[in-house]
Copies of this chain bind each other. A is one copy, B any other.
Amino acid sequence: MIHTNEEILEMFEAALQQVQTPEEPELLYAPIIYSMSGGGKRLRPVLLLITTEAFGGSVDKAMPAAMAVEVFHNFTLLHDDIMDNAAVRRGKPSVYAKWGENVAILSGDAMLITAYKLISGLDADRLPRALQIFNDMALEVCEGQQYDMDFETQATVTVEDYIQMIERKTSALLSGSAMIGATLAGASDDDVRKVYRFATELGLAFQLQDDMLDSFGDEALGKKIGGDILEGKQTFLMVQAMSRASAEEREVLRTTHKSATLSDAEKIATVKALYEKLDVKHATEQQIELRFERALSVLDTLSIEKERTVRLVEFARKLMGRKK
């Protein structure tokens, strides 16, 4: 009997509640509790647990790894908020804003160690392989963050550069989670490679859609439009546009966000007009479809019965906000 994704989420939240965090020193541990109880969709642990169950593994046995990936994810947010100077996280003050930089650095470090402490709770026979995947995943996430920061000052960011960055920054945690889930269930190397590809493609589709919604989301749905444009951030739309633009258009794309004369609305309109003209919206939609379809089609090639992949399909659709 395979659990529903909602049941898996409930099991995860219940397990997380049971984790004891020390009380002292308060400035080390209170930010960890604050950060872990701040909500979030728990995407990565849920993916890990439904993947393990798809391969006949036990949710309980995989729980230490599921908690580890969620703590790791929250650790990255904590340190990213320092580096990005971000005051708000999930509608509340970031740890960095609330407690200051030193506390955010050190409690983040303690969170990363806590993630390892949690994953060390796996059965000894499964630990080495899970740990190896976790280590590689964690380093890739750091690499992705560094490339993302590099892009802020890099003269040219190609579409390929950008995809490689988000494969690390966004996909690696999803693909690592799926691989650990499969490994813990004793899946074959071939199946582990396939769930890696599933989650990598899904992560790319998700990130590209996120980029897309920043420019072309539905304001009626409460989506604030144009944040990335105003920050001059490299997104899939921007790097696509740059690759297709004339020298003159590239200059506009490069400088509009820094304009001292244009209003925010005018900046957004200027860049979006170029995105439309260069057919970037359409190209991005195509990429999203391509990646999403690739992700789903990998699932059909797994060695397990098709009905066991149902939760993974549901997970993917829900992540992308789709009915089918």
Contacts and interface: CB of A to CB of B under 8 A. Distances in A.
A142 B83 contact: no
Interface string A82-122: 11000000000000000001100110111011101100100
Contacts of A101: 82
Contact of A82 (B27, B105, B150): B105
A314 interface: no
Given A83-B106, A146-B28, A149-B102, A139 B127 contact: no
Interface stretch (A130-138, A242-250, A255-263): A130-138
Contact of A142 (B109, B143, B145, B146): B109
Given A105-B83, A105-B105, A138 B120 contact: no
A315 interface: no
Given A128-B127, A142-B106, A145-B106, A135 B112 contact: no
Nearest to A145: B106
B106 A131 contact: no
A147 B106 CA distance: 11
Contact of A113 (B24, B142, B147): B142
A59 B300 CA distance: 48
B117 A139 contact: yes
Contacts of A82: 101-102, 105
A131 to B, nearest CB: 5
Interface residues on A, range: 35 or more
B83 A147 contact: no
A27 B146 contact: yes
This chain's copy number in the assembly: 2
A272 interface: no
Contacts of A28: 142-143, 146
A39 interface: no
A117 B135 contact: yes
Most buried by B among A24, A28, A124, A142: A142
Contact of A106 (B27, B79, B117, B128): B79
A25 interface: yes
Contact of A131 (B27, B109, B120): B120
What are the nearest 4 A-B pairs in CB distance? A28-B146, A25-B146, A117-B135, A110-B142
Given A28-B143, A102-B149, 8 more contacts: A24-B143, A25-B147, A83-B102, A110-B143, A112-B113, A120-B131, A124-B127, A131-B131
29 contacts: A25-B143, A25-B146, A25-B147, A25-B150, A27-B149, A27-B150, A28-B143, A79-B105, A79-B106, A79-B109, A82-B101, A82-B105, A83-B105, A102-B149, A105-B105, A106-B142, A106-B145, A106-B146, A109-B109, A109-B142, A110-B139, A110-B142, A116-B116, A116-B131, A116-B135, A117-B135, A124-B127, A124-B128, A127-B127
